[in-house]
Amino acid sequence: MANQDLFGFQVKKSNGEEQKLSDYKGKVVLVVNVASRCGFTPQYEGLEELYKKYQDKGLMILGFPSNQFGSQEPGTNEEIQSFCKLNYGVTFPVFAKVDVNGDKADPLYAWLKSSAPGVLGTEAIKWNFTKFLIGRDGKVIDRFAPQTKPKDLEKDIEKALAAAK
């Protein structure tokens, strides 16, 4: 798993279809575990602003709902999609609900956590809205805490977008 990159993974869309992450080759990707009933839920708005601002320059944001933190994402995949669109006008992809920690953690999240451990080297995701920035080469650039606001990622995103394609 050590030399793997983002593009080797497949994830489930909210409708159950498979999505190859190799479709995002050459893009800078921000992966975020999201939830509808979290104190950080308003970050959807900031994520959407980033997406609108940098989408044409090569940024892709991928949201992965998880119900592992305080049961803050209890809805079905359809309910989650509806919530994101109606409340925050989300246009970036929000995939099917996943586990980000534990034995049933999605393989994408197992790779993300081992590629960019958190504070003091812990791999576990601590809460909703943990963010992973991935370069055009499919390698993790950095991990950001839930309280890091999307707008505070702009410099890192711009730097990643400016890197050689």
Q: Using one digit for the tens of pLDDT, what is the confidence trace for 62-111?
A: 999 999 999 999 999 999 999 999 999 999 999 999 999 999 999 999 99
Residue 122 pLDDT exceeds 80: no
10-26 average pLDDT score? 95
| Domain at 32-162: CATH architecture | 3-Layer(aba) Sandwich (3.40)
Query: Which residues is 11 bridged to in the sheet?
Result: 19
pTM: 0.95
What's the pLDDT score for residue 2? 45
**Which one-letter amino acid corresponds to residue 12?**
K
Q: What is the mean pLDDT of the chain?
A: 93
What's the pLDDT score for residue 164? 62
Cα dihedral sign, 85-88-91-97: negative
Largest CA distance in the chain: 41
Outline where DSSP puts E strands in the chain: 10-12, 18-20, 28-34, 59-65, 131-134, 140-144
Residue 3 pLDDT exceeds 60: no
* Residues tagged active-site: 38
What's the pLDDT score for residue 117? 81
Q: Using one digit for the tens of pLDDT, what is the confidence trace for 32-64?
A: 999 999 999 999 999 999 999 999 999 999 999
